[in-house]
Each structure stands twice: as C-alpha cells, then as structure tokens.
Amino acid sequence: MDSRSLVLLVVALWATAARGQESPLPDACASPPIPPGLLGNLADSYPGWTAVRLTDLEPDDRELWLKSSRATQCPGVVSGRFVSAQTPAWAVVAVSGGSGNQRVMVLLGQPGAKGRFSFRTALAPESAVRPAVVWALPPGEYRMADGRLVKTKLDSIVVEHIEAGALLLVWKQGRFDRLVYSQ
C-alpha cells in the first residue's frame, strides 16, 4: 500500500468514527443561574421527582429547544418575580415515572430559612406523554388562545408542551390562574 492510499484509509476511518460519536448535550440545569440547593431541595421534598433536563426531551423537542432563543437555559427551571415584585422565585417543571406512566407538575421554589427552598404547587401533577418545558414572560399584555388580551403585573410562567400548546400561569389573588396561551 502506497503512502497516498494509507492517508486516504486513515482519513476515511477517522471520518467514520467521528460520525458515530455524538457530542454530549450541555446540561444547563447543572450550573448557575440555578441557585445551589434548589434541585437538591426538590429531590428531598418530592422523592422520585426531578427537574426536566434537556436529555428528558424527545429528540424532536430537544432539537427545537436547542434552536430556540432559550437554548442555553435549563428547560425545566426558570427564574422570575412570579408572586412578588421584590422576591425572586424559580418555576420548576418536575417529572416522575418513565415513558408510558410519566407525570408532570410545576412547582414554585422560593428561598427560605437556612438556604433551603420551600415549594408550592403551581400546576398539580398530571399524566403526560412528553415532558413540558418552562420559560418566563415579563409583565405585559399577552393574547390568549381564545382571543382575550391579558395584562400581567408580574412575570408569568409559560409551561409549554413543544408543538402541542402552552399554558400561561399568572399569579392572581394568592394563586396561579391557568390560561391557554397563544404564542
């Protein structure tokens, strides 16, 4: 075998090997801006439940998330001033169970005593075929699916089932209102 054939063979083998390797997915849920302790407190308070991570999404949903303006954010955690203009909080989409019997809920984590987070339910557990993602909208006016215009004074939580629909969770009179959101 001459040197040119050997070089071509090495290049072909390298290209084949490189194509078979997938680059690891970034884990935006493992680093700031998620505060230390939030996800650990979630696991302690809700055994068997975890925040949605990029690897939890179906391949087509993952691809859409990575192409969106939120690609560097954790799909299961978002911060905002959801219940008070003075106090930050974190909305967490938590999942439990495997495919076929998966459950999803949305929790609101707020800093509490001794660096721990307290949680309240923003959206009760429900069965889901695919996990949802979460993101925030600033105070403003938003059009709902039924055509209504809703004005919010605080940040709002958007719970989205990619390519299926989204709910807008708006804090009002001590609880979250669920509104079908039209993007």
Encode pLDDT of 25-81 as tens digits: 567 787 667 888 899 999 999 999 999 999 999 999 999 999 999 988 999 999 999
- Name the token pair of 44: 């302690």
Q: Is the pLDDT of residue 10 over 60?
A: no
Residues in a beta bridge with 88: none
Q: Residues 6 or more apart from 129 whose CB is under 8 A from it?
A: 102
Residue 15 confidence (pLDDT) above 50: no
Report if residue 81 sits inside a domain.
yes
Give the tens place of pLDDT for each residue, 119-154: 999 999 999 888 899 999 999 999 998 999 999 999
Average pLDDT over residues 163-173: 93
Cα 94 to chain center, whole Å? Answer: 9
Residue 22 forms part of a structural domain: no
Do residues 52 and 95 lie in contact, with contact meaning Cβ atoms separated by under 8 Å?
A: yes
pLDDT at position 160 is: 94
Number of C-beta neighbours around residue 181 at 10 A: 21
Q: Which residue has tokens 């979460």? A: 134
Residue 110, pLDDT > 90, answer yes
pLDDT of 99: 67
Burial of 22 (0-12, 13-18, 19+ CB in 10 A): exposed
Residue with the bigger pLDDT between 10 and 158: it is 158
**Total number of domains constituting the chain:** 1
Q: How far apart are CA 150 and CA 152, in angstroms?
A: 6
Q: What are phi and psi of 46, to 5 degrees?
A: -135, 75
Say if 19 falls within a structural domain: no
Question: Which three-class secondary structure state does DSSP give residue 9?
Answer: helix
What residues make up the domain containing 90? 28-181
* Helix%, strand%, coil% for the chain, nearest 5: 25, 40, 40
- Tokens representing residue 147 in the block: 């055509």
pLDDT given for residue 27 in this prediction: 73
Residues in CB range of 165: below 8 A, 6 or more apart? 145, 180, 181
The residue among 115 and 76 whose pLDDT is bigger is 76
Q: For the whole model, what pTM was predicted? A: 0.82
**In-domain check, residue 110:** yes
| Cβ count within 10 A of residue 162 | 20
42 is a domain residue: yes
State yes or no: pLDDT of 94 exceeds 50: yes
In a domain, 9, yes or no: no
Q: What is the pLDDT of residue 3?
A: 47
DSSP structural state of residue 34: S
